[in-house]
Amino acid sequence: MEIRNIAIIAHVDHGKTTLVDAMLKQSGTFRANEKVEERVMDSGDIERERGITILAKCTSIEYNNYRINIVDTPGHADFGGEVERILNMVDGVVLLVDSSEGPLPQTKFVLGKALNLGLRPIVVINKIDRNDARPDEVLNEIFDLFDKMGATDEQLDFPTLYAVGREGWAVESLDDINKPNKDLKPLFDLILKHVPAPKVDVNAPFKMLATTLSGDNFLGRILTGKIMSGKVKMNMPAKAISLDGKTVEQTKITKILAFRGLQKTPLEEAEAGDIVSIAGFTKATVGETPCDLSVNDTIEAQPIDPPTLTMTFSVNTSPFAGQEGDRAKLQSRVIWARLEKEAESNIALKIERSETNESFEVSGRGELQLGILIEQMRREGFEFSVSRPRVVFKDIDGVKCEPFEDVIVDVDDEFSGVVVEKLSKRKGTMTDMRPTGGNKTRIVFKVPSRGMIGYLSEFRTDTRGTGVLNRIFSGYEPYAGPIERYRNGVLVSMEQGTTTAYSLYALEPRGQLFVGAGVEVYSGMIIGEHAKENDLEINPVKGKALTNLRASGHDEATVLAPPRVMKLEEMLSYIADDELLEITPKSIRMRKKELDAGIRHKQLGRKKEM
């Protein structure tokens, strides 16, 4: 059976996972009476909750005596490390683009990686049934993007299909949209015709590139990748070679698993060109080369873009430490072991110990990637504290440089002024501005990553929830200068106890509250935003004094305004440099780094004197 290996790449929410669902159904992977969930490839709890793909996943379908291995890749730039690795093990890509939104930052990011590898994309313009679809304009934008990215003449001659992934059909021409009985046959046929067979040597010694790493309670460490040459057989001796050519370990292959539909099927042997998972190694990791004992050279891997954002993970020191999580997962050595395990499989992540060993520097691609890691650890029972994200500066030829991002904003015309004003204050430079129809404007900026920390919630407020913002790492450029941070002071609890409606009602005029009545708080915990620039110490646990007064109407029920509820990523960008997020399995609290009010006032006094 001949093999074709493809990756489906696109921007967030352009329909990758939904299209894979339809391909699986129409290829006969599922039984006719089998009940299948939507977005079946998004199997993780967080993926389903957020509606995004975080980890790349493999599947395969059989069509006309061909096996098509398909990789569903993440659409968010923060998980670009996943995408970069996946492109090393496929021979073609299907580029999916929304018929209204057109190519967006992640499209550009992944496409550039694919073109550099010499892959020839198939373009699918999806969601062609949208009322605001503009397929001809979008096709021109895609061609211009290919040209700007330095595509060869062969790559510029890309085939195009028009599709509605949700309904499971694709057509070669816009004239065929209204024809009955449409399906995905045109896409299957085009993949077989356009995507080349894997360029491999079956007769050479076994060699594969480890692209992803996972764990199994029974099999141990599992490495997944494409076999570049030879055959792998059960119980055969093998070794792993690191990127610098050194042997990491020698072992024997204890399990070979192939992707057949949504299942992993055990095989006795697999040959070059197929994408498989192997078990038996205990040290080998992503980017290394599992191979036959006779092989001495490593397979060159696609370089991974460096992290641009860093955060400090530290032991939880709040008065509530150990009350809501697993006490065994409070210690620094356990937190470090979990971070080490994550960094092994997530090569876009970097971790370093601090001098005290009580805190660790964790660097990644963006707030979402780090936020997902925090959420995963929290659900596993860990307790810890994290700092506000900071950008990673670099010294390039003696010049201090910082990461910049390309930011594309789609807003109603009436909000374009406030967006331009806010991003200009954050050292952003507008590079393009044009109407997109329907009283909407698309504005393109180049902004320092520092300026984007915490802007998303402000953007949603400014555009009344109607704006769409997309961003992607552009590169390192000279330091843009100081950026003023616009945030009021915070309301800080000066007592430990349970908040009362009586006390909170009296505090409401002082600012916006983050907690309601009946919430456990401690001294140094942030419970609201002050209406002024300075921090304010308050007592939210004060109860009403008991009296004998029983006059009618004197004790009316206290009605509080709803507290402001923030998501994890919003909290990360909201806290200041002297504040932390306390993460527990049940709660996420904002707090001051220094809980003692007296010490905080002394530190503030010293800062003013300097």
24-33, 145-154, 340-349, 601-610: range with lowest mean pLDDT: 24-33
CB 426 within 8 A of CB 458: no
- Split at pLDDT 50, 70, 90, the class of 591 is very high
Taking 70 as the threshold, does the pLDDT of residue 481 lie above it?
A: yes
Relative orientation angle of helices 367-379 and 332-345, to the nearest 10 degrees = 130
Closest by CA position to 556, among listed 609, 501, 514, 604 = 501
> Region 582-608: what's the mean pLDDT?
84
Specify the pLDDT at position 124: 93
Instruction: Read off the tokens for 390.
Output: 């900071």
Specify the pLDDT at position 52: 43
Closest by CA position to 538, among listed 508, 578, 576 = 508
Instruction: Measure the CA angle with vertex 533, ends 529 and 535; round to 5°.
Output: 60
Closest by CA position to 11, among listed 138, 110, 121, 143 = 110
Scored b (16 or more CB within 10 A) or e, 110-136 reads: bbebbbeeebbbbbbbbbbeeeebbbe
More confident residue, 91 or 347: 91
> Region 383-411: what's the mean pLDDT?
90
Specify the pLDDT at position 83: 63
Taking 70 as the threshold, does the pLDDT of residue 284 lie above it?
A: yes
Specify the pLDDT at position 212: 77
Instruction: For the beta carbon of residue 301, count every other beta carbon within 10 angstroms.
Output: 18
Taking 70 as the threshold, does the pLDDT of residue 594 lie above it?
A: yes
User: How would you class 542 by CB atoms within 10 Å of its CB: exposed for 0-12, middle for 13-18, buried for 19 or more?
Assistant: middle
> Region 131-160: what's the mean pLDDT?
89
- Mean pLDDT, the chain, integer: 83
Please name each of the domains of the chain with its CATH number.
2-194 (3.40.50.300), 207-291 (2.40.30.10), 394-478 (3.30.70.240), 490-544+555-578+589-609 (2.40.50.250)
CB 113 within 8 A of CB 87: yes
C-alpha dihedral over 500, 503, 505, 508, to 10 degrees?
A: -120
CB 538 within 8 A of CB 521: no
- Report in angstroms the alpha-carbon separations of 42 from 48, 51, 69, 260, 364: 6, 8, 17, 17, 22
Taking the whole predicted model, whether its pTM rises above 0.75 is answered as no
pLDDT (tens digit per residue) in 70-123: 876 664 454 455 566 677 778 899 998 989 888 876 677 778 778 888 899 999
Phi, psi of 503 (to 5 degrees): -70, -45
Q: How far is Cα of residue 551 from the mean position of the Cα atoms in its chain?
A: 58
Closest by CA position to 346, among listed 110, 79, 109 = 79
Instruction: Write the DSSP string, 113-161.
Output: HHHHTT--PEEEEE-TT-TT--HHHHHHHHHHHHHHTT--HHHHS--EE
Instruction: For the beta carbon of residue 550, count every other beta carbon within 10 angstroms.
Output: 7
Specify the pLDDT at position 39: 40
Chain position carrying tokens 């109860």? 543
> Region 495-505: what's the mean pLDDT?
91
> Region 242-271: what's the mean pLDDT?
87
Nearest-angstrom CA–CA distance, 257 and 267 = 6
More confident residue, 405 or 557: 405
pLDDT (tens digit per residue) in 36-55: 444 444 344 544 444 444 34
C-alpha dihedral over 144, 150, 153, 155, to 10 degrees?
A: -80
> What DSSP element (H or E) covers 197?
none
More confident residue, 176 or 603: 176
> Region 231-257: what's the mean pLDDT?
90
